Amino acid sequence: MPSPKCVSPVPSPYVHHTITLSPTLPNTAPTEIPALLHPSMIPLLPNPLPNALPPPIDEPFVVRKTEDRGYAMFASRPILPGTLIKLEHPIFILPALPLEDSSSYESYERLGQGITESTYAEMETMANCRSKDECPSIVEGVARTNALTLGFHFPSDSESDPHLSKPHAKHYGGVCPKINRCNHACGPNASYKWFLPNLSARLYALRSIAAGEEITKNYTDLLQPRSTRLVKLEGDYKFTCDCKWCTFADPEAQEKSDAARAFLGTYVNTHPSYRKWSMDLCLPDTFVIESHLAVIPLIEKEGLDALLPLFLEEIMRCYAELGDEDQFRVYAERTRQLVAVGDPELAAELERYLENPVGNFPKWGARRKFRESQAKQRRVVEEEEEDLFMDSLFGPSD
C-alpha cells in the first residue's frame, strides 16, 4: 500500500480503535487488532467481531530468506488451482492516506504498541523499503511496503463528509505477516481476497503450484507494458522486477508480451459477452465460446490466470444454454475450483448447477430448444413449398 501520490496530505480525522475478534477455541485470548480509523466507521464494526481464526495446521507453504529478494513464500507441497494457501488476520489496520499532523509518528507507533511482543518482532523482520525521512516510524514504513488494500463500506451519507469525499479516503491497509511474504511476479501464481465479516485475508492459488516453487502475487497493473510496470515497482517498492515476463532475452518476445497484455486489457473491457449473446439469437451459437477459447492460451502464456474465471464462467453459461451437459460440467467444475476462495458465492451457485444442471440452471438448453423449433418451422415451410410445387405440376392431390 504505497501512499497515494496524487493526494496531498489531509488533516487527520483518524482515531485509535481496537478491533476485538472473539476466540473460536475455549480458554484462548481474543484476537486484538489495533486500528487507526475514521470515527464514522467505528459504530459500523461489530465489536467483538465473531470468528477469530482457528490455529493454522499443516499449511502448504514455508517462508524462508532468499539471496536477492528478502524473505519469500514457497510451496512445501503441490498446490492445486483455487486452493486456500493462507488465512490471516491483519496485525494492524491504518488509512491509505498519510497522516498530516505533528503527532503522526506517535500515531503510527501506537499501532505497534497494540500488538504482542512476538508479533512486533515478526513485523520488524518484514520488508521496509521506505527511508527514515519518508517514514520515520517503522510501523508506517512496513505498512507502506506491505499492507494489503482494504475497502470498507461507508454509509451513503458519508459523501457529505469533506474528508471521506477525498480520493483514497475510504481505503485502508492491513499488514499480514505471512501473506505479505509473497514477492511480486508479473504472472503471479496466487492472489488474495479480504473477507470482511471476520476481517481476514485469504491467499489462494491461481494455478497449479509445484512443491518448492515460489508463491507470488501481483503488486501492480499487469496489463501495462513492462516499462510502465518497472517504473511503478521501482517507485513504490524499490526493486527491479526480474520475473520471466520482464527479462526476455529477445526484444521481439518482450514486444509480443507487451502487445498481448495490451490486447487482453482491451478484450477484458470489450469482449463478446455471454449476456449479449444470450439475448441475441442472430449471433452464431459458438460465437462467445470460440472467441474466449482463442484468448485463453494467451492469458495462460502471460501468466494472467486471475482473468481466467471471467471467461471460463461465460463459456460454461453458453454451454448451459446450448444444453451441452458434458462441456458444461467441464467448465463449471473448472470455474468452481478457481473461485472457491476468491468468490465463494459464485462457487456455491456453480455447485448448485453441478448437482442438477437441467433443473437448476435457469435457462438450461434454451438456445438449443429455440434452434430445434426454428429447424422444425423451416421443415414445415419447406414441406408446404414442396406440396405447392407438386400441385403446380400435377394438380392438387385429394
Stretch that binds ligand SAM, among 130-138, 162-170, 177-185, 274-282 (CB under 6 A): 177-185
**Helices 308-321 & 366-394, crossing angle to 10 degrees?**
40
Decide whether 126 or 260 has the Cβ nearer to ligand SAM.
126
Q: Is 84 in the site for ligand SAM (CB under 6 A)?
A: no
Residue that has been written with the C-alpha cell 513485523 in this structure: 123
Closest CB 64 distance from ligand SAM, rounded Å: 10
Among residues 145 and 335, whose Cβ is nearest to ligand SAM?
A: 145
Tell me the residue nearest to ligand SAM as measured from the CB: 70
Report whether 311 contacts 296 (CB < 8 A): yes
State the minimum distance, in angstroms, from the CB of residue 246 to ligand SAM: 9
Distance from C-alpha of 10 to C-alpha of 38, rounded to nearest angstrom: 13
Distance CA 340, CA 347 (A): 5
Least distance in Å: CB of 235 to ligand SAM? 11
- Select the residue interacting with ligand SAM from 137, 145, 218, 257 (CB under 6 A): 145
- Least separation in angstroms between CB 146 and ligand SAM: 4
Residues 6+ apart with CB under 8 A from 101: 11, 12, 107
Binding segment (CB under 6 A) for ligand SAM, from list 237-245, 308-316, 319-327, 346-354? 237-245
Q: How far apart are CA 295 and CA 16, in angstroms?
A: 48
CB 184 to ligand SAM: min, Å = 4
Residue from the set 1, 52, 126, 150 that interacts with ligand SAM by CB under 6 A: 126
Residue pointed to by grid coordinates 481476497: 193
Rounded to whole angstroms, the Cα distance separating 207 from 79 reads 8
Closest CB to ligand SAM among residues 185, 299: 185
By beta-carbon proximity to ligand SAM, the closer residue of 124 and 387 is: 124
- Should residue 241 be labelled a site residue for ligand SAM when binding is judged by CB under 6 A? yes
CB-nearer residue toward ligand SAM: 132 or 238: 238
Q: Which amino acid is at 378?
A: R
Whole-angstrom distance, CA of residue 254 vs CA of residue 225: 9
What is the arrangement of strands in the sheet containing 214-217, beginning at the earlier edge strand?
Answer: 61-65, 71-75, 214-217, 183-184
Q: Which helix (H) or strand (E) holds 336?
A: helix 325-339
Q: Is 238 in the site for ligand SAM (CB under 6 A)?
A: yes
C-alpha cell belonging to residue 225: 507494458
Residues forming the site for ligand SAM (CB under 6 A): 69-72, 126-127, 129, 145-146, 180-181, 183-184, 237-239, 241, 243
